[in-house]
Homo-oligomer: A and B are copies of this chain.
Amino acid sequence: MAGGNRTIAVQPIGHVEGGRIVPEDDGWDASRAVIALDTERFTPASLRGLDEFSHVEVVFVFDQVAEAEVTTGARRPRGRTDWPEVGIFAQRGRNRPNRLGVSTCRLVSVRGLRLEVQGLDAVHGTPVLDVKPVMRGFLPRGALREPAWAAEIMARYWND
């Protein structure tokens, strides 16, 4: 296979501070937290101009998920028997290979190396691997189609 399957090392650029301590299923939009960048490697220049964007996309690691809990096959989202058993790459659950989360939230403020955000569904202490500005041009192109369970699972996710 092109490129092989060699392990790749990544290093957190910072961590989530504040917000929720324990992961919960719903009501994340009420959560306000700070993404604190690593002060040894970064400077305010790393974030220059980010405050011109209303939203950021955050790539983080679900580090509370143990390796043994990672699913490679299919499972029911949240274990709900009324939802279909779907592959781990057909859902956004935490117990996934590489344990990566990608989430869009509102950017409240940027102060030095600290980004205040609203509605980030990651708990206190979560390692952050990247922050990207949300650009309109990177939203999905063309009509979006999703199964019924995907809308049901999101019904109370942000606003409980």
Binding site for B on A (CB under 8 A): 1-3, 5-15, 17, 29, 36-38, 40-50, 52-55, 57, 59, 61, 63, 72-74, 84-92, 96-98, 100, 102-104, 106, 119, 124-127, 129-147, 150-151, 153-155, 157-158
Contact = CB atoms under 8 A, between A and B. Distances in A.
B139 A139 contact: yes
A78 to B, nearest CB: 14
A138 B92 CA distance: 10
Given A72-B42, A146-B135, A8 B50 contact: no
A137 B157 contact: yes
A49 B86 contact: yes
Nearest to A132: B92
